[in-house]
Structure 1
Amino acid sequence: MLLRFRTANVRSLRDEQELSFVVPPGEESDVARTVELSDGKQLQVYPLLGIFGANASGKSNVIFALKKMREAVLSSYGEWTSYQGIPREVFALDPKAEAESSFYEADFVLGDGVRWTYGFELGAQRVEAEWLHAYPKGRRQVWFDRDATREKVFDFPGDRVQDRALLARMTRADALLLSRAANDNHQQLTRIFDWFKQNLWDITPETEIAQREAFTARKLLDERSRERIEELLRIADLGISGAEVEQRPGQAPSVRLLHSGGNDGAVPLDWKRESFGTRSWFALIGPLLLALDEGAVLLIDELDASLHPRFAAEVVRLFQAPWANTRGAQLVFTSHDPSLLSMPRGGRQLEPGQVWLTEKDRAGATEIYPLSDVEPGEEEDLTDSYLAGAFGGVPKMAAGQIGRKLLASRTGEAERS
C-alpha cells in the first residue's frame, strides 16, 4: 500500500509537497484499513484520497507527478539517453527552476509488511540522486545511496545489495539504478521495481475511452467478471438490466446493453446510441475492477468530468467498502464536485483526512494540504463550508463578478467608440 508521496519542482509543484494516506496521529477513522508492519506495529491507512481545488490550482499536477515517477522507474533504462536529456516539466514561472532538480519520493508497504522508501532527483542531463531505504524492524536500513556530486557516486552501506559493483558500473548517469537492476532481473531490487509496475495506474475518464470500453467488454467474456460488471451497471440506475457481448475472430468484442423496456422486457441498444455518460461509466468499470482485484493504487484525474455525481460517488463507495475492496486497493482522484464530500441524506462521504485541497500562491506555485489541518467541526457540513470558501481551494471570485467585468468592458468599449 502507498503511505506517502512527496515531490518538488514538477509543473506547478514548486516547493516540496506531500500527499499522505496515513491517518494523522490522534484522529479516528471509520474507513481506514489497518496495515500490519513487519516490526509488529500497525498503521491506519486510508483507502482513497480526493484532491479538490479551483481550476488551474494544480490538482491534476499531483496526479501528473505520481504518473511521472512511475514512468521514470519503468522507462529510464530503455528510453532515456544522454544525448536527448532527461524528460522533465519543471516549474515554469521561475527561471531558476530549470537548473534545479525535480524530486520524487514514495513510501509504501509490500506484502510482507516491510516499509520501503524510494526516491530520486532528476536534473536536465543526469540523475542527481537516488536512494532506497527499508524498515524491516522499524529502524532504517540504507540499501543504496546515490549522489552525482560525489567522486564515488554509488554507496551501498551494509553490503545488503548483491552485484553492487556491476550495478554501479552498468548504470548510466541518466538512468535510474532501480530500472537498470530490474532489466537484469535483479533478485532483490526487482520486487521494488514491480511495485511501481503494478501500481500508480493513470486513468482520465475523458481520454482513451475506446480502449477502456474494449477492456471492459473483454472482461464481460469472463463469467465471474460479467456478473460484477452487470451489477455495477444496475447499481448506477441507468435502466440497464444486463449486457450482450459477442466475440468475433480478430475483432474486439461487441457489446449491447440491455435496457428495461416495459412489457416487452429488456431491449438491447446499439452501442453507438448509448449516452456518453453511460459509455464513460462502462469504460471505467473494467479498470476499477482490475485495480480492486489486484490491490493496486489507481489514479483518476477529473473523476467528475464525464461522470454523473452519482457514478463518481459509486466509485468512492467501492474503494471505501471493505466488502468490495478486499485486497487493499487505493484511489487518488481529483474533482471539482463538492457533493462528493457529503452523503445525499446527511453525513460525510469523505473524512477530513481524505480531502486534500490545492491553492496557488502569488508566485503561481501550488500548495496541497489536507482538510484535517483546517480542523472542521465534527458536525460541520463539509460541502457547504467548502463552497463558502471556509477551507480555501475555491476560486477567489464574488458571485456575479465575471458578468460585471464583461459589462464594464462593453461599456468602456462603447464609450471609446
Structure 2
Amino acid sequence: MLLKFRLQNYRSVRDIQELTLLSGPDGGFRVPVGGGVLRVSPLCGVFGPTAAGKSTVLRAVSTLRALTTSGSDVHDATQRFEPFQLDPAARLLPTRFEVEFLLDGVRYVYGCAYKRDEIAGEWLHATDRDRRRVWYERDRTGFRCLPESRLEHLAAACEPHTTLLSLGADIEHQWLAPVAAWLRGIRTVRLSPGTRLASGLAHLADRWNEQLTLLVSRADLGVVGVERDLLRLVHTGRSGPVALGDWAESDGTVAWLDLLAALLPMLERGGVLLVDDLDAAVHPDLAAETLRLLRDRDLNPARAQLLFSARTPFGPGTDGLPVLDPEQIWYAAKDTDGATVLGRDPASSQLGPGDLARELWLARQPK
C-alpha cells in the first residue's frame, strides 16, 4: 500500500511537498508491517482551484512510475524534464521524487532524482521489523549496495539515463523485480466522457456483471440492468425494458462506467489508482458513492487505494455521513512565489462572488 509520496522541483512545485496516507488510530485499514500494525487510508484527495497544482501532484506519481518501468519509458520521462520555471536557480537542479509503500510486510522507500537525459540519483531502502537497510544508493559520485544483493555488476551495466530499478525489472532480479512490479501497478485513469463505454463494459461483463448491474440500478440513472451479450445498458421505457447503445448514454454515465471499469478489478487485486479532476467528469453524488466502495473493508479486501484531485471536497452522502475523513483531504495552493504548496487548510480565495466579472467590466471602461 502507498504510505507517502514526496516531490520537489517539478512543474509548479519548487520546495519539497509531501502527501501521506497514514491514518490515525481510528482511521484507514489495519495493515501488518514488521512486528506491528500501521493504519493506512484507502483514499487521498487533493483539492484546490484551477492552476493550484493538483494535477501536478498526480502527474508526478505517474512520472515516477514511468521512471521505473522500462528503459524506453525512463528515457521519455527524462526527456520531459520539467523543473520549476519561476526560479532561475530551480532550473539548474534535478527533479526529485520519493515514495514509501508496503509490500509483503516490508516498508520500502524508493527515490529518484533526474535531469534531462540523466539519472542524477537513485536509492532504495527497506525496513523489516524495525531494521532499516540501504539496499542501494547511486549518485554521480558512485554506487553503494548491500554485499548480499549482488547488484554491483548490474549497476556497472546501467546507463546514466536509466534507473537501476527498471533494469532490475527487465532481468527479473529477485530483489528489484517485485519492487518495480508494485510501482508498475500504479494506474492512471483519464476520464474522457463518451469515448470508451463499450470497452469499459466489455472489461466488466464476465467478472463483475452482477456488481455492475447493482451499481447502475441503484445510481438513479434510469438504468435497470446490463445486457451482457451486446454490452448495452437497459433502461425502462413505456413499453418495457429497452437496451440502448453507448451513443444514447450521457457523458457523465459513460465517465462513471469508465471509472468503475478500472476500479472494480482493483478492489479484488489491490493497487493504486490515479484519477485527475474526478468531479469534472463524474457527478459528485456518483463520485462520492464510488469513494465509499474503497472505504468498505468487505468490498475492498485487497486494500486498493485511490489518489484523486477535485475542485472542492465532497459533501455528506445520502446518509448524512461525511464521504472523506479530514486526514484524507489535502489542499493545493500557490504561495507568493507562484509555487504549489500542499496543506491541510483550504486557501482563501482572492476573488469573492462577482469579483471577476466586476474587474472585467471595470477594465472595459474608458480611462
Q: How high is the TM-score relative to the length of structure 1? A: 0.83
Gapped runs of 5+ residues in structure 1?
A: 247-253, 371-390
Displacement of 1:190: 0.4
1:160–1:321 CA distance, 2 compared to 1 (3 A): same
Task: Give me the whole-angstrom Cα distance separating, in 2, the residues matched to 1:298 and 1:80.
Answer: 21
Say whether 1:78 aligns with 2:110. Answer: no
Q: Secondary structure at the match of 2:180?
A: helix
The aligned counterpart of 2:145 is: 156
**% identity of equivalent residues:** 35
Partner of 2:332: 358
Greater fraction strand: 2
> 2:42, 2:306 within 8 Å by CA — same for their partners in 1?
yes
Q: Distance in 2 between matches of 1:136 and 1:6?
A: 21
The amino acid of 1:33's aligned partner reads F
Identify the residue that residue 88 of structure 2 maps to in structure 1. 95
SS at match of 1:166: helix
1:190 alignment partner in structure 2: 177
Report the residue type matching 2:85 in the other structure.
A
Helix, strand or coil at the partner of 1:241: strand
The residue number in structure 1 matching 2:33 is 37
Q: Residues 66 and 73 of structure 2 are in contact (CA less than 8 Å); yes or no, is this contact kept in structure 1?
A: no
What is the deviation of 1:344? 4.6
Q: Does the 8 Å CA contact 1:90/1:102 hold for their aligned counterparts?
A: yes
Alpha-carbon distance between aligned partners in 1 of 2:55 and 2:240, rounded to the nearest angstrom: 44
Matched to 1:170, the amino acid is: A
For structure 2, the residue ranges without an aligned partner over 5 or more in a row are none
Aligned residue in 1 for 2:271: 296
* CA deviation vs aligned residue, 1:155-196 (integer Å, no higher than 9, x gap): 113x1313x232121100111001111111111110111001
Letter in 2 for 1:404: R
1:242–1:85 Cα change, 3 Å: closer
What code does the residue aligned with 2:195 have? A
Residue of structure 1 aligned with 2:231, choices 246, 255, 258:
255
- AA at the equivalent of 1:106: V
The change in CA–CA distance for 1:138 and 1:206 in structure 2 (over 3 A counts) is: same
What is the Cα deviation at residue 219 of structure 1?
A: 2.7
Which secondary structure state, in structure 2, belongs to the residue aligned with residue 140 of structure 1?
strand
Rg larger in 1 or in 2? Answer: 1
Q: Report the 3-state secondary structure (helix = DSSP H, G, I; strand = E; otherwise coil) of the residue aligned with 1:342.
A: coil
CA contact 1:54–1:393 (8 Å) conserved in 2: no
Secondary structure of residue in 2 paired with 1:74:
coil
**TM-score (structure 2 length as normaliser):** 0.94
The DSSP-based 3-state class of the residue aligned with 1:182 is: helix
CA distance in 1, matches of 2:128, 2:113: 25
Query: Following the alignment from structure 1 to structure 2, what is the Cα–Cα distance between the partners of residues 362 and 275?
Result: 41
Is the contact between residue 219 and residue 226 of structure 1 (CA under 8 Å) also seen in structure 2?
A: no
Q: 1:395 aligns with which of 328, 334, 349?
A: 349
Equivalent AA in structure 2 for residue 191 of structure 1 = P
Shift of 1:85: 6.0
Q: Give the CA RMSD over aligned residues.
A: 2.0
**Does 2:103 align with 1:128?**
no
Of the three residues 210, 213, 235, the one matched with 1:227 is: 210
Instruction: Answer whether contact 1:8 1:104 (CA < 8 A) is retained.
Output: yes
- Residue 59 of structure 2: which of 49, 64, 67 is its match? 64
Structure 2 Cα separation of the partners of residues 179 and 410 of structure 1: 56
Distance, in Å, in 2 between the alignment partners of 1:168 and 1:259 is: 59
Q: How does 1:256-271 map to 2 (within 5 A)?
A: 256-262=232-238, 264-271=239-246
